[in-house]
Amino acid sequence: MTTSITLPRFDDMHVHFRDGAALKRTVADTSRWCARALIMPNLVPAVDSIAAVQSYRERIIAHIPPEHDFTPLMSLYLSEHLSPDTVRQAKAAGVVAIKWYSKGATTNSTQGVANVDSLAPVLEAMQKEGLLLLIHGEVTDADIDIFDRESRFIERILMPLRRNFPALKIVMEHITTAQAVQYIRSQSEHLAATITPQHLLFNRNRLLVGGVKPHYYCLPILKTESDRLALIDAATSGDPRFFLGTDSAPHAKHTKENACGCAGCYTAWHAPALYAQVFDSVGKLDKLKDFACRFGADYYGLPYNSGEIVLKKQAMRIPEHLPYLEDSTVVALEGGSEWQWSMEI
């Protein structure tokens, strides 16, 4: 029986750092085990200009602990303010991707995409420049059930988009359904997906049975058990189109535990241990290295990371609360529980 595994430092290809005082917590937690992370741009105001992305990068770098070797990978927010000229400038400025939020789909998405047809010039420029398109793939029309949003997005938006821009490299972020897995597997190139720990670990019963549990509320929302099993099969299959993206998203405890219902699970503190438990549960721990350290780098055209982390199969208690902002804490996913795997740097 495997009791420990040594891996290179991970890539997290989808993480929310927030801004301001939050950076002290979020940057330190992710950079402890990541060599690189792709930072989401849904701040207020959105990071949708070259000046904004450069300034945000500088604020992040200022919070990297000196003992951590870490590189933030930056993305731009796909808003109405983005132009083909901005796309070209972004490539030159080192931006690696542009993020599509369907309008109203998640936290700080009010500036997101409402009119898909208006995006054609920007998408053409991205295709030409080689900038990746990251998609929060949900249809948010009021008549669409929240559990069907991802599937409808694939049918209504993603399929036509891929026909119109066949050379555009796309990442479907934080997939949640068996349909998404099947669709990605059916495509020959230029389409990949990230998978979060919460969608591998839990189905919607964890959120809803016995009362609504706000710390399991994320968007896209947790789905059925058959969907969860399809995600595990994809993540542990060795298929390079599926790789790690935590979607770690901090919210202060008091904003999660009220009528706001803020969406997001905070996993930056302990994500490698969460993933290790999933992969170990199906006897596929040997597949974790590629999922966490290789496939994302390959898809983005990045060199592999050096350094190492050690994951051990020994009990770890996840803290109930972590210091966050000056007057608040953040609750890590499964906070207060015993976990089978732990992490050493």
pLDDT given for residue 251 in this prediction: 95
Tell me how far apart the alpha carbons of residues 68 and 115 are, in angstroms, rounded to a whole number: 41
Residue list for the binding site: 14, 16-18, 42, 99, 136, 174, 219, 247, 251, 263
Tell me how far apart the alpha carbons of residues 299 and 11 are, in angstroms, rounded to a whole number: 12
Tell me how far apart the alpha carbons of residues 138 and 148 are, in angstroms, rounded to a whole number: 8
Tell me how far apart the alpha carbons of residues 73 and 59 are, in angstroms, rounded to a whole number: 13
Say if 339 falls within a structural domain.
no
Catalytic residue among 12, 29, 247, 290: 247
Q: Sort residue 238 into left (φ over 0), alpha (ψ -120 to 50) or beta.
A: left
Tell me how far apart the alpha carbons of residues 313 and 190 are, in angstroms, rounded to a whole number: 36
Cβ partners under 8 Å of residue 84, min gap 6: 121, 122, 124, 125
pLDDT given for residue 308 in this prediction: 95
Residue list for the binding site for Zn(2+): 14, 16, 99, 136, 174, 247
Known catalytic residue: 19?
no
Number of domains in the chain: 1
Say if 216 falls within a structural domain.
yes
Say if 1 falls within a structural domain.
no
Tell me how far apart the alpha carbons of residues 264 and 200 are, in angstroms, rounded to a whole number: 15
* pTM, entire model: 0.96
Say if 234 falls within a structural domain.
yes
Q: What domain range includes position 214?
A: 9-309
Residue-level length of the chain: 345
pLDDT given for residue 92 in this prediction: 87
Say if 218 falls within a structural domain.
yes
CATH number at residue 236: 3.20.20.140
Answer for the pair 96, 300: CB distance below 8 angstroms, yes or no: yes
pLDDT given for residue 17 in this prediction: 98
Say if 236 falls within a structural domain.
yes
Residue list for the binding site for substrate: 16-18, 42, 136, 219, 251, 263
Say if 345 falls within a structural domain.
no
pLDDT given for residue 103 in this prediction: 61
Mean pLDDT per block of 10 residues along the chain (345 residues) reads 91 98 98 98 93 97 97 93 92 93 60 72 94 94 94 95 96 98 97 98 97 95 98 98 98 91 94 98 98 98 96 95 95 96 90
Say if 193 falls within a structural domain.
yes
